[in-house]
Structure 1
Amino acid sequence: MAGPITSGGTRLDTPTAAPGYGGTLTLLATLFFMWGFITVINNTLLPHLRSVFDLTYTQTELIEWVWFIAYFFASIPSAKLIERIGYKRSIVTGLIIMAVGAVMMVPAARIPSYGVVLTALFVIASGITLLQVAANPYVAVIGPAESSSSRLNLVQAFNSLGTMLAPLFGGYLILGRSTSGTAAAGAVLTPAERLADAQSVQLPYLIVAAVLVGLAIIIARFRLPDMNASTRGRAREERRGHSLWRHRNLVFGVPAIFIYLIAEIGVSSLFINFASLPEIGRVTHEQASHYLVLQWGGMMVGRFLGFFIMRRVPAERVLAAFSMAALAVVLMATFSTGHIALWALISVGLFHSIMFPTIFTLGIRGLGPLTEEGSGLLIMAIAGGALVIAQGKLADLYGLQTSFLLTAACELYVLFYALWGCRVKEEGAVAP
């Protein structure tokens, strides 16, 4: 067993400290892929359910609200579960919880019931929360501290690979097999067509459930290194006398994650409806899902680029540059029309790419023995995605295109964090 390593001041007496941690990192990348894939299926599910249940934009974004509010309620219980049963068992548990939620979509589609759909999605998101609480800080401390942002961007790139493939999966198996997905924008469905469309989600979610169970079995048999009990006990002793609130990078980092998620989820969840507008792309929902692939593909490319760029350029400088570019293209999408607006919104994915992993690693920088608590707060802040319902309300009141001014405001806060909020005060840093 290798000796202790330090990343942000957190020490792990675990084999992950050894140079050969590639197998563990590969397995973690698979988890990032799966939860990215499942999360973005929602982007094709939203316009589908909007037609099936005849929802307003506000009611449609309630789906995202339920999904991301799970992070708020499940983060602390997830952290306690990890402390009690360890990383490996917690990851397996999270995958099983996700599989149960996916199976729940079958009766939700058969009834059909909007309430049961929301419940099933909350269960899936709770399982993903458990995976997030375990995997994000684990990747950050699995190797040298100076490359933590680069490393997290690498595994997040595989998350983006999942998000890029999900619209193809959902577009073919949900939108492509439904009347609402292949009809022109604004088409009115008959009750029989609504019922048939509702049931089209059964097959994709059964496939997802089977894959999750298979992955849980693989991980249960994999020798995943874990923090041992003595390490956790020593960390608890080291935390005494230190305060999270002395760390400006965390204090401003938690709202940075919260606000960034409003921007990311707002763009992705409303993209298909945006692209389908007559003045923008004039395409069906199924065709718009193909453009959504490009948006998530841009995020994947950006994260692979971030992995290499941040080996040479400070992470905060990269974050500032990407946030300024994101602000520019969001404003272009808001105030222009046609293909200019469409491609501007597609390009947002590229500039959003490095934001979450970079904010996360900047937020826990210098926390030392407080890293676990800081990580928990940052994961809980993913609940910010729930406030995308506010953009749905703005779209109902002022128009879908105008609602992206909220996204622009979010980009401004990320820029503030990159330029000033992420700085670590020397007197506030905790020595490892």
Structure 2
Amino acid sequence: MSKKNSYLVPLLIIGVIFFIMGFVTWVNGTLISFFKKAFSLDNTSSYLVTFAFFISYTLMAIPSSIVLKKTGFKNGMSLALLVMAAGTLIFIPAASMASYGLFLVGLFTIGIGLTVLQTASNPYVTILGPRNSAAQRISIMGIANKTAGVISQLIFGQLLLAGASSVDPKDELDKVVTPYIVLTVVLVITAIMIRMSKGLVEVSEEEEEPADITSSQVVVNKTSVLQFPNLVMGVIALFCYVGVEVIAGDTIISYGIDLGFAEEEARLFGTYTLYGMMFGYILGVVLIPKYVSQQAYLKFCAILGVIVTLVAVNSTGFTSVLCIAVLGFANAVIWPALWPLSLSGLGKFTKTASALLVMGISGGAILPLVYGGIADSIGSTQQAYWIMLPLYLFILYFGLFGHKKKSW
């Protein structure tokens, strides 16, 4: 069997993992609008959904890397899915008690499981094949992730936001019970299947080491991951990226409702962002690295993000909503390109560096909350989108200069 074919089964299994991560993650945009209505929340309070979900990445990234070193990839992923199942199960008593706080605990628990999955799956995909085509492989995973996101938003949008709303908040909250019971069962079954699978192989330290002698010598002379500027700036860039990705994906439904669109129509806006991301991922698969380098695509995405943000805050109605959706396309290949550029030359530090990158996902916790705070303070959800401009500019800096810097 060729080495390329030996990668196929592990990548297919990781594709299933990415699908599950996307399904669970991208329902948050629907939950924000749902909880905002059910609990009569302001913008800031409603974005505690993303805060509870993504802050777990900061708190659990390093512990996750320790867990993976002890359990290996396969057992770690299986354990992570069971933790996620525990989180989805918490939604049942949360609905019964009509407790927003308990819902947030459930989301935080789901985030813990996702942290382990992210810590394992992204470097795994990066390592399984040539570095210069890593963005292509992660783009394929991204297609699975965003396809799941579209499906979850369509399903949960129909279940939670479509149709007449009950005057009794308890009746509204009961809508989450059945879908989250089903989700719990699916997660448990998947965890068992992953645990029993013979397709996932462990990646040795030798496979993680850089192939060229110069890079190896650089690694030998380093004693800490913080001595790699491309990694440190990559973590910051990833923090900025996840922030703009979550803002674009999870605020668009509430933004549409604020602009006067009916819930029946606005519930579909989140899928527009995900369609944009899927299109961007497909282009990435086709173009990288044969026609365009992952660095060049990263720079293009960052520049497009700056331009579209400026149009979004200076336009009106559906045009502005459409711009937020187009940011999905702009965001698509930033994540796949950031990982290999940030991990380039890390060698034996790859697992620890990956955990630090996963901590950068906390941008999805903090920046949407900042967006909500700005929106409440100035009374405009549209003008709050200005927060994305400096974030895209830093990503552009990383694509132009930051990833090239190998020493301080």
Q: Distance in 2 between matches of 1:365 and 1:340?
A: 39
User: Does residue 38 of structure 1 match 2:24?
Assistant: yes
Q: Which runs of 5+ in 2 are unaligned?
A: 211-215
Structure-to-structure mapping, 1:343-362, within 5 angstroms: 343-362=322-341
Aligned match of 1:364 in 334, 343, 347?
343
Determine the structure 1 residue equivalent to 2:149. Answer: 163
Closer/same/farther in 2, CA of residues 228 and 357 from structure 1, 3 Å limit: closer
Q: Letter of the aligned partner of 1:365 in structure 2? A: S
SS of residue matched to 2:292: coil
Is the contact between residue 178 and residue 200 of structure 1 (CA under 8 Å) also seen in structure 2? Answer: no
Determine the structure 1 residue equivalent to 2:228. Answer: 247
Determine the structure 2 residue equivalent to 1:116. Answer: 102
Determine the structure 1 residue equivalent to 2:269. Answer: 291
Deviation per residue, 1:84-123 (Å, 9 max, x gap): 1111111000111111111110110111101110111100
Instruction: Quote the offset at 1:241 in angstroms.
Output: 4.4
Structure-to-structure mapping, 1:161-240, within 5 angstroms: 161-176=147-162, 179=165, 190=167, 192=168, 194-227=169-202
Closer/same/farther in 2, CA of residues 378 and 228 from structure 1, 3 Å limit: closer
Q: Letter of the aligned partner of 2:262 in structure 1? A: T
Determine the structure 2 residue equivalent to 1:259. Answer: 240
Is the contact between residue 70 and residue 126 of structure 1 (CA under 8 Å) also seen in structure 2? Answer: yes
Determine the structure 2 residue equivalent to 1:330. Answer: 309
Instruction: Quote the offset at 1:179 in angstroms.
Output: 0.6
Is the contact between residue 176 and residue 286 of structure 1 (CA under 8 Å) also seen in structure 2? Answer: yes
Q: Distance in 2 between matches of 1:233 and 1:26?
A: 20
Q: Distance in 2 between matches of 1:234 and 1:316?
A: 21
Matched pairs, number: 398
Q: Distance in 1 between matches of 2:113 and 2:318?
A: 38
Is the contact between residue 333 and residue 340 of structure 1 (CA under 8 Å) also seen in structure 2? Answer: yes
Determine the structure 1 residue equivalent to 2:375. Answer: 395
Q: Distance in 1 between matches of 2:246 and 2:70?
A: 32
Q: Give % identity.
A: 29
Instruction: Quote the offset at 1:247 in angstroms.
Output: 2.4
Instruction: Quote the offset at 1:177 in angstroms.
Output: 5.6
Deviation per residue, 1:314-367 (Å, 9 max, x gap): 211111111111111111111110222121111111111111121111100121
- Which moves more between the two structures, 141-150 or 237-246? 237-246
Q: Distance in 1 between matches of 2:177 and 2:111?
A: 18
Instruction: Quote the offset at 1:286 in angstroms.
Output: 3.3
Is the contact between residue 365 and residue 424 of structure 1 (CA under 8 Å) also seen in structure 2? Answer: no
Determine the structure 2 residue equivalent to 1:22. Answer: 8
Determine the structure 1 residue equivalent to 2:395. Answer: 414
Determine the structure 1 residue equivalent to 2:213. Answer: none
Q: Distance in 1 between matches of 2:86 and 2:239?
A: 27
Is the contact between residue 21 and residue 145 of structure 2 (CA under 8 Å) also seen in structure 1? Answer: yes
Q: Distance in 2 between matches of 1:42 and 1:199?
A: 17
Determine the structure 2 residue equivalent to 1:84. Answer: 70
Q: Distance in 2 between matches of 1:119 and 1:343?
A: 33
SS of residue matched to 1:179: coil
- TM-score under structure 2 length normalisation: 0.92
Instruction: Quote the offset at 1:150 in angstroms.
Output: 1.4
Q: Letter of the aligned partner of 1:206 in structure 2? A: I
Q: Distance in 1 between matches of 2:30 and 2:119?
A: 26
Q: Distance in 2 between matches of 1:220 and 1:76?
A: 23
Determine the structure 2 residue equivalent to 1:271. Answer: 252
User: Does residue 62 of structure 1 match 2:48?
Assistant: yes
Is the contact between residue 68 and residue 382 of structure 1 (CA under 8 Å) also seen in structure 2? Answer: yes
- Which moves more between the two structures, 50-59 or 338-347? 338-347
Is the contact between residue 31 and residue 49 of structure 2 (CA under 8 Å) also seen in structure 1? Answer: no
Closer/same/farther in 2, CA of residues 18 and 273 from structure 1, 3 Å limit: closer
Is the contact between residue 98 and residue 124 of structure 1 (CA under 8 Å) also seen in structure 2? Answer: yes
Instruction: Quote the offset at 1:408 in angstroms.
Output: 1.8
Determine the structure 2 residue equivalent to 1:14. Answer: none
Q: Letter of the aligned partner of 2:314 in structure 1? A: F
Instruction: Quote the offset at 1:33 in angstroms.
Output: 0.9
Instruction: Quote the offset at 1:151 in angstroms.
Output: 1.1
Is the contact between residue 303 and residue 392 of structure 2 (CA under 8 Å) also seen in structure 1? Answer: yes
Determine the structure 1 residue equivalent to 2:125. Answer: 139
Closer/same/farther in 2, CA of residues 418 and 294 from structure 1, 3 Å limit: same
Q: Which runs of 5+ in 1 are unaligned?
A: 3-16, 181-189
Instruction: Quote the offset at 1:234 in angstroms.
Output: 10
Closer/same/farther in 2, CA of residues 307 and 372 from structure 1, 3 Å limit: same
Aligned match of 1:381 in 349, 360, 384?
360
Instruction: Quote the offset at 1:145 in angstroms.
Output: 2.1
Q: Letter of the aligned partner of 1:394 in structure 2? A: I
Is the contact between residue 44 and residue 369 of structure 2 (CA under 8 Å) also seen in structure 1? Answer: yes
The two structures, once aligned, show a CA RMSD in angstroms of 2.3
Q: Distance in 2 between matches of 1:304 and 1:89?
A: 31
Closer/same/farther in 2, CA of residues 247 and 228 from structure 1, 3 Å limit: closer
Is the contact between residue 178 and residue 197 of structure 1 (CA under 8 Å) also seen in structure 2? Answer: no
Is the contact between residue 102 and residue 209 of structure 1 (CA under 8 Å) also seen in structure 2? Answer: yes
- Which moves more between the two structures, 79-88 or 171-180? 171-180
Q: Letter of the aligned partner of 1:138 in structure 2? A: Y
